[in-house]
């Protein structure tokens, strides 16, 4: 029923003019707005964007800087788990004290991004200086 009504309303309607010429009125074009895609960001990604922006880096640059820390501290082994130190060199107590247990019991069990966020808390929003460290560690 609705389709029939719609076709009647949108069909071209011929009209007669006083001079006898036929005028056709076309229905107006219907423009359907296209909504922009919404980017769904996880809380972890939003936190990474905030952390990176505080040091005027993008996320990839922040990850690169922290990769240098990982190389210097634990030869790049983000997954290192030990009785005292884990991840990229977090003392297990420091990991807990700065909220790391919300991600994993030990730093080495957390993702690199999660370790970066806790590392940024530990260092008060800065990436530790790794000048003097070779690309292969200390």
Q: Can you give the CATH number for the domain in which 95 is found? A: 1.10.530.10
Is 79 a domain residue?
Answer: yes
Is 115 a domain residue?
Answer: yes
Tell me the per-residue pLDDT of 94-121, one tens digit each, with 9 for 90 and over.
999 999 999 999 999 999 999 999 999 9
Model confidence at 5: pLDDT above 80:
no
Report the mean per-residue pLDDT for the chain.
82
Q: Is the pTM of this model over 0.85?
A: no
pLDDT at 105: 96
Is 56 a domain residue?
Answer: yes
pLDDT at 29: 76
Number of domains in the chain: 1
Question: Which structural domain, as residue segments, surrounds residue 50?
Answer: 43-122
Instruction: Output 136 or 10, whichever has higher pLDDT.
Output: 136
Instruction: State the Cα–Cα distance between residues 42 and 103, nearest whole angstrom.
Output: 14
Is 134 a domain residue?
Answer: no
């Amino acid at each position: 029923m609705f389709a029939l009504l719609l076709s009647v309303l949108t069909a071209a309607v011929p009209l007669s003019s006083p001079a006898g010429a036929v005028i056709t009125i076309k229905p107006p074009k219907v423009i359907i707005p296209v909504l922009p895609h919404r980017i769904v960001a996880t809380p972890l990604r939003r936190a990474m964007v905030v952390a990176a922006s505080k040091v005027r880096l993008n996320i990839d640059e922040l990850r690169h800087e922290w990769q240098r820390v990982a190389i210097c501290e634990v030869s790049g082994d983000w997954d290192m788990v030990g009785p005292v130190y884990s991840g990229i060199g977090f003392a297990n107590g420091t990991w807990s004290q700065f909220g790391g247990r919300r991600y994993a019991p030990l730093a080495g069990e957390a993702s690199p991004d999660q370790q970066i966020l806790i590392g940024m808390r530990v260092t008060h929003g800065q990436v530790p200086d790794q000048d003097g460290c070779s690309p292969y560690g200390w």
